[in-house]
Structure 1
Amino acid sequence: MSNVTPFPAYGQKAGQTGFDRQELQRIMDLYGRMVSAGHWRDYALDMGRDAAIFSAFRRSAERPEYRIEKRPALRHRQGMWALIGEAGHVLKRGQELQGVLAPVERKLLKIVDD
């Protein structure tokens, strides 16, 4: 009972990549709007050493319709955020999460007649 394991200090490279609170809030806000619009029904989170991935599904038995990936190693190259489609093609890549989510958010826009 006297063994104390030190908690890794903030800023040290941990063994897992994850989303911070604001990023996850933005992604879950989009997920909630897509669920209420009837586009998505399920999601999955995968947090590994190299990437954190949020996958959104139309049905849970299918491949994800979209994957939102955060890869910090690409921060200074192509941008650490990527939006990947169902077929595995990169649809959008960038430095900011908001810009990468824009193509998905466009699906929620509706034209309203007066």
Structure 2
Amino acid sequence: MTDQPDLPPGEAAAQRSNVVVDLRDYRSNKDPLPVTFHRKELDLILRIYGRMVGEGEWRDYAIDHSPEKAVFSIFKRSGEMPLYRVEKNPKLATRQGAYSVVNTHGLILKRGRELQQVLKVFDKVLKLVET
């Protein structure tokens, strides 16, 4: 209902710009879109995932999208808890950074604004072995 008088059909179209809409009702009726990984982000994640599968360390993954964040979970076996979670949370982009890598226990291993830098936590460091 509006406070506007009833108009004939021809005039109603011309007067639609004068309709008052309550923004709270408008916003509550709109479902927020889920946060997703973009193609370039998935390419970076899947490149590391493929390398680790080839080494026999990882075997399965899952991708979850919610209105708050997107999560790429990495499993050793599909029936277990994820070994790692790569999370994208846009609300943290201006603070600590939108991307983070979290281990099984919930400890944040690395966080940052650029996914490529955050994924360096999976790079293996060569160690000098004395013989």
Short-chain TM bin: 0.7 to 0.9
Structure number with greater CO (CA < 8 Å, separation at least 6) is 1
Name the residue aligned to 2:70. Answer: 52
Name the residue aligned to 2:87. Answer: 69
- Aligned pair partner of 1:31 in 41, 46, 49: 49
Residue deviations 1:20-65 (CA, integer Å, cap 9, x gap): 1100011011111110000000000000001000000011111111
- Cα gap change, 1:25 to 1:110, in 2 (>3 Å): farther
- Structure (1 or 2) with the greater helix fraction: 2
Residue deviations 1:72-112 (CA, integer Å, cap 9, x gap): 111000100000001111111000111111111227x687x
The root-mean-square deviation of aligned C-alpha atoms, in Å, is: 2.0
Say whether 1:93 aligns with 2:111.
yes
Q: Which runs of 4+ in 1 moved over 6 A?
A: none
The 5-angstrom pairing of residues 1-12 of structure 1 reads: none
Structure 1: where are the runs of 5+ without partners? Answer: 1-12
Alpha-carbon distance in 1 for matches of 2:76, 2:113: 27
Larger radius of gyration: 2
Q: Percent identity?
A: 47
Task: Calculate the TM-score normalised by the size of structure 2.
Answer: 0.70
